[in-house]
Every structure is written in C-alpha cells, then in structure tokens.
Amino acid sequence: MSGVLTLTSQLTHAADVAGHQTALIHENGKTSFSELEELAQKYAAGLTALGLGRGDRIALWLPNSPEHYALTYAIWRIGAINVGVNTRFKSKEVEDIVGRSGAKLLAFDPGFKGIEFDNILAGVDSNSLKSLEKVLLFGEKDQGIVLDRPAFPLSELSQNGTMQEDRATPDTPCQIFTTSGTTSKPKFVLHAQRSLALHSQRLPHFWGLDRPDGVVFQAAPLCGVVGLNVATLGIAAIRPQIIQSVFEPISAAELFVRHGVTHMIGMDAMYERMVASRPEKIPFPKLAPAPSFGANPPLEPFRKIARDRGIPICAVYGMSEVCALFAFQDMSLHEDDRVIGGGQPVHPETEIRVSDPDTDAPLPTGQEGEIQIKSPTRMLEYADNPEATTASLTKDGFFKTGDLGKMREDGSFVYLARMGDVLRLAGFLTNPMDIEKELEADPAILEAQTVQTRIGTRDKAFAFVLLNGTTPFDEQRAIARCRDRLADYKVPIRVVPLDAFPVTESANAIKVRKTDLRRMAEEILAEESVS
C-alpha cells in the first residue's frame, strides 16, 4: 500500500484484501477485518443519525475492546475528532478534558473492571460540560440520564444501517491526545489523518511487522499516543492484534506463547513480569526488537533479565506531538548505546537537530541541547491554543520538544532527559501541577512541589510542601485527597513538610531546585528502608 492514505481507508483496504483474516484477538474471541469494518460503518451511521459530523469532538473514556476500535474508526469516518480520555482519570480530570475539549458526546463503559464510574461522575460539575449533548453507554444499561444529559446504550448506535461514505481526507483533523507541560492544564495535541496514517503506513516495514508471521500484542490504552499508534499500525500492516483491556502478565505471557507474538511495546516492568511467569529460558523466541520505556537507560537488573531471558530490548523515542515509536535505536549498537532513548527516525523525510534552547541555533554533534524536529508525523497544532502552538515552533518550522539530547555522528540522536519538570508515572507524562494543585487545596498546605522518585521498578510521585501554620498538617489526609481526585498513578507516596524550598535566584526569576528535591526524596526513602 503506497501513498498517503487516511486511517479509514487503511481499514477499508484491509477488509477488501484480507476480510476473513483476524484483526483482533480478545477475551470474547476473534474479530476479522471485515467484521471490524462493518461495525465501524454501523457506528458511523449511528453517529450521523445523532447529528454528529465533520469537526465535532467525541470523547471516548473506554478500555481497549473491538467496539472501542470500531467506534474510533467510525468517528474518523464521519470526519469527526476523537478525544482520548484515560480510564484511570477521575472526576476533576474527566471534567477538565471533556469540558474544555468541547466534546458533544461522551462514551464510557459503566461495567469496566469494577471502576466506580458513578462515584467519579458524581464529582463532575455537569455545568462545566457546556458542549456535551449525549452520553453513550457501552453494555446494555437502560437509557437514562447521566451528567444531566440523555444516555443510551451502544446497541442503539448500530440500528441505522451502515455508512458506506467515507468523509475523511488526509487533511481532516481526527485525533486529540492530552499531554502535560508547564502550564496548569493539559494541552490538546491535534493530529490530522495524514500524519497518523503516514506513520501507520511506514512503521510496519521499519519495525519488521510486515513479516508473514507478525502478531502484535496491544495492552497500551487507545486513549494515548502509544496505544493509538500501535492499533493503527496493526490495521495498516494487516496483521492480527491481541488486545488486553488491562495488562495481566501471566495471561499475557500465555497469549505470547500461544499466538507467537512478534511485536510489543511496553514498560520495563511489563517484560519483567511476563518472563518471570514462564519456566522457559527463552520464553518468547519470536519477539522482534522490543521497545521498552521506563528508566533511561534501563536499570541494570532489568537489562540483565533481558539478556538472560532473550528480550531484545531497544530504546525508542516519541511523543504525542510527533507520534510514538518516532525513532528506534539500532539493534547493532552496543547495549549501552542501544538502550538510551532516541535513535534513527522512522521517516526518511524527517529532520532532527539539537539546538540552543534560548536561540534555536543548531549545536555541533555531541553537544547537549534541545531536540528539535521537523517531520511529516507532526501534529497540526495544540487545539484551541494558538499561543502554545506558536511557542512550540521555531521560525524555520522545527518543533521544540523540550527534551535534552545530542546528535551522533551517524545522524541518529540521543534523548537524555526532559528539560522541564514533567514526570513520567506509570508510563504517562504527568504534569506535577496536577498533583500540586490538589495538595494546595488541603487546609494546612500553603505551597507544594512534586518530583519523581523510584521504588523498586516503579516511578512514583513524591511531594514536598510548605505549611501555612494555621491548621494542623496530616500527611495521610493530604494523600487521601489526591487519591480521591486523581488517577492512582499520580498519588504521591509521601507528602513531606519543609521550612523552605531550595531555590536559585536569577535576574529573571526565583526557581525551585528540583534536583535537590529529588535527592532529598531519595535520601528519605533510603533512610526509611533501613529503619
């Protein structure tokens, strides 16, 4: 399949040439490419019957499932925009994303894995969802009122025939990812069909998924750029995907062996937990270069496990603005170089440079600076935020990643760290202000700062606070507040009061020294582990 296509035409092509072949393997059986395309056409007809169409935003707060895949392609088919909402999000996060994105329809699964959706929605201010018109319920729950809007079951969406027309074009905006940055609210990364379809089309060959026996394991949630890019990769390559709504290492390992999985992207701990459940020395012999993310570079215990158990780990680089799996490190490199983020970009049309973050002037090979990218997989814009879009681009059109890195002699690049203060928790880039805002709402806390630390193989948030001196401080109360209002992975493991934050004063600002706070967090945890 050559040329720039739309995401929807990639699914249609797969159904035309391999309709009977398996597209998805899931807990309820298998779904063929033809069945997936037909379901997407039915959902598209249903969405159109609701008056939804080009440019409308539809929020999907859903686990991975065949219906989620089909609804995503249906949204794209009618020319609308999918807004991904993490199933881990709680009331304030859902309220912000659905409300600020202007979503007209919200879809969620009330029965998914014991999540208390009713309690979460009870904490949402329905008045803030100014554009929301209807709620779509997965499952067969009776029609009623949710968030003060009419709600109806998914089955009603497929009762309007099929929509043969495909309204998508390469330039049609189609997908919003939420990302964290230095502002108090997530930005909305808006992609067109062209950038995502081109990436899905190019990636199978680059990663080797075009092999005849290729099988993808997909546990990353479709709401995020990793899950979405892997999902569309499998469709474009016309290869089967095994999907899990929630990663479970023992069953995942069994599926790997049973179906001969060749491709997966996951966190270091996911690979560790899967191989730990298998008795074989090399449990997954068909596994292609396995992109992993977590510590950069991975800690030695995981690297040893990977060497001993035959996991061919390969660092990658990506972000919502330019797509996940944007670049791969070459497997021929020495392990010390292969496991550091970065690599060669998937697309030959891509330009990468490392520049002075203050002047955007390119720096010599080997010198550290900001990674800047010009690529056909770049986002259209930060939706509804022209100021942020303008600020993210250099005068000559390079995207300013905010990442620290350096170029190699061979034209590849190395990612070293975030230049800002964004945390990576449970695989998600997380704005520390999300946590700090909730802590500062505690009656005893005047100001909060959050850093990232590691316990075993898991990255956790660790908070330091200044107290106002008027109300007694209760650490467990502060943690409980975060647990009630934020996704679990954002909940800090400790909230420690200080007399003052370590700061650096300059002519322009007073900046908190996050490096000092991270060191202090590590020292506290080390002392606690000894005592």
**What pLDDT is stored for residue 180 in this prediction?**
62
Domain boundary among 159, 190, 221: 190
Q: Tokens at residue 350, please?
A: 């891509």
Closest CA to 495 of 460, 529, 471, 526: 460
For the chain, the domain total comes to 2
Determine phi and psi for 21, rounding to 5 degrees. Answer: -75, 155
Say what the pLDDT of residue 139 is: 75
Supply the pLDDT for residue 1.
53
Provide the pLDDT for residue 300: 80
Domain that holds residue 57: 30-190
Task: Answer for the pair 40, 77: CB distance below 8 angstroms, yes or no.
Answer: yes
Residue 272 lies in a domain: no
Confirm whether 456 is domain-assigned. Answer: yes
pLDDT tens-digit readout, 189-217:
999 999 999 999 999 999 999 999 999 99
Let me know if residue 394 belongs to a domain.
no
CA–CA separation, 124 and 98 (whole Å): 10
Question: In angstroms, what CA-CA distances link 335 with 185, 330, 341?
Answer: 38, 10, 12
Residue 68 lies in a domain: yes
Q: What is the pLDDT of residues 394-409, one digit of tens each?
A: 999 999 999 888 999 9
Distance CA(57)–CA(111), nearest Å, equals 24
With a CB cutoff of 8 Å and minimum separation 6, the contacts of 205 are none
What confidence score (pLDDT) does residue 166 get?
97
Residue 398 lies in a domain: no
For residue 508, the model assigns a pLDDT of 33
In a domain, 468, yes or no: yes
What does the block give as tokens for 149? Answer: 């809007």
The CATH number for 506's domain is 3.30.300.30
Q: What's the number of CA atoms in the CB half-sphere (13 Å) around residue 14? A: 30
Nearest to 315 by CA among 300, 323, 299, 327: 327
Last residue of a domain, one of 134, 161, 190: 190
Q: What is the rounded distance in angstroms from the CA atom of residue 244 to the CA atom of residue 27?
A: 8
Determine what percent of the chain falls in helix, strand and coil, rounding each to the nearest 5.
35, 25, 40
Does 59 map to a domain?
Answer: yes
Task: Point out the domain boundary residue: 190, 220, 250.
Answer: 190
pTM, two decimal places? 0.83
Q: Evaluate whether 516 touches 523 at the Cβ level (below 8 Å).
A: no
Low-confidence ranges of the chain (pLDDT < 70): 1-4, 140-143, 180-184, 294-295, 420-421, 429, 504-511, 531
Within a domain: 138: yes
Predicted local distance difference test score (pLDDT) of residue 509 = 44
374 to 194, 204, 329, 384: CA distances (angstroms): 15, 21, 19, 22
Burial, 379: exposed, middle or buried (Cβ in 10 Å; 0-12, 13-18, 19+)?
buried
Q: Domain with 143 in it: what CATH number?
A: 3.40.50.12780
